[in-house]
Amino acid sequence: MLIPLLALLAPAQGSDAPLEPGQILVGQWPGADFGAAILSAGDVDLNTKPDLLVGAPQDSSEGTLRGRAVLYLAARDNSGYDQVAWTVSGEIDRGQYGASLAGGQDLDGDGFSDVAVGCGGSCWVVDLYLGTKAGPGLEPDWSVDGGGGSFGHAMAMLGDADGDGYADLAVGDRLGGEDGTVHIYPGGADGPGAAQQLVGDPDHAIGGTVAAAGDLDGDGLADLATGSGVEDPLAPSVSVFLGAAGGLDGTPAAWLSRPADALGMGVSLGGGGDVDGDGRDDLVVGADGIGDDPAVGYGHVLGWSGATGGLPAWQRTDSVPDTLLGRAVAIAGDVDGDGYADVLAGRPGWQEDQELEGGAVLYVGGPTGPGAWPAWKAGGDQAAQDHGGAWIAFGQAVAAVGDVDGDDRADVAVSAINTGASTYEARLGEVRLFMGTAWTPPAPQDTGGDSGDPADTGAGGGEETGCGCASALPSPAAALLLPLALLLPWRRR
């Protein structure tokens, strides 16, 4: 349910916030949409530090829209990431290699984390690269070609879902079969084995988005969440499949139901952390507000505790439309060291200080779920008019990246795909790292009433308050810019 905002925090800026700005990684390939996909690769080179995988699916340096994936290895001195350690490009024109990424798990049991790269265009190949002391090789160690549909356009590494001691790879195909499929490739010492196929039904399509759900039921096996994604913005649910000996249970254990006002539910999924401290992993689902109507609605971040199913246990939203809150979501790990996992969400349509700058917010976890308002927010800090008039798209992708700086607190990454050049065609893009830090919430300040909505309203450019909220009405300039923004290339990609 939505929680009315009864009190506002005192200002949380700089070191008073649970995240602090860190390293910025800048793309090297003009027009590539560097940062369109980002995720923690796990420890690929076994130096005890989590590495970062970045997709640049619009890269045309090796051929038209062939795309590429880029790996950054974490520095041993806790300073962030070394420069590009590994990059591979696609081999199919318009294949958009790097649009889909998976990693952070060890599929072959050698102790090194492995990474997988898929496509987003006219390509249905998934390549697996095994981790080694020197990092992954330039040639895939295993590949599979789905042959069509949308095979490989969404995927995730699940951990051990079948109890054999190896992590497993889930590959979605929303256009597979009648109502979508997800292919589960079990890990093994010799690489992935024959796939188990999960199938959707007319009321619960799957395969458009795929996420590692952690362990929702506490049985020690990895679970899966999957939905129809952008193919069906009015989808009624997201399906949850639980791990079981010998393979995932083919019958969903729960369906996460869409609230009536949460259009676009399932555009993003996140799991693998305990937000409310009940000992079970939780799920977060983004609903960016885009429905079958051309107008953009209100974005939402929805949460479920464990494998409960039904309507969400909690729901957060922006108080104005068009921010695309929920376009990307992640359970960020414990950013502030309080013992609860926190929730990160992108809102690439947000604007406050700059035109169409985009933004991201963090809700800190607690015994009743995440806080009713963002404890941290960041904007793109660059104006669309300085970059060819197109949106900056800060918050288009977000990721939990583990503890990069060795302070025992989780860190996060947020991308901005339209930066680094004065024209959209020459954009370089960037991935910004934000470091978790010790943080104690300031004492509440009585506002003398109910704001009517718990979340940050920052699309409007109104007066700033301590929780990162602004007035619910956009400024006259923003009101003119938002309809114009709908004509720009900032829809779902």
Closest CA to 243 of 256, 270, 224, 269: 224
What distances in angstroms separate CA 42 from CA 70, 159, 343, 411, 486, one per listed residue? 14, 12, 19, 13, 37
- Secondary element (H or E) of residue 484: helix 476-485
Reduced to 3 states (helix: H, G, I; strand: E, B; else coil), residue 128 is strand
pLDDT, one tens digit per residue, over 432-473 is 999 999 988 876 544 333 333 344 433 333 222 223 322 222
Between residues 61 and 230, which one has the greater pLDDT? 61
Look-up: residue for tokens 């799957």?
206
The Cα 353–Cα 362 span in angstroms is 19
pLDDT band at 231 (very low <50, low <70, confident <90, very high): low
pLDDT, one tens digit per residue, over 138-190 is 999 999 999 999 999 999 999 999 999 999 999 999 999 999 999 999 999 99
Task: Report angle CA 44, 45, 46 to the nearest 5 degrees.
Answer: 100
Backbone angles phi, psi at 178, to 5 degrees: -80, -35
pLDDT, one tens digit per residue, over 62-72 is 999 999 999 99
Task: Report angle CA 13, 395, 138 to the nearest 5 degrees.
Answer: 120
CB 182 within 8 A of CB 197: yes
User: Counting beta carbons within 10 angstroms of the beta carbon of residue 15, is it exposed (0 to 12), middle (13 to 18) or buried (19 or more)?
Assistant: exposed
CB 155 within 8 A of CB 172: yes
- Secondary element (H or E) of residue 430: strand 430-436
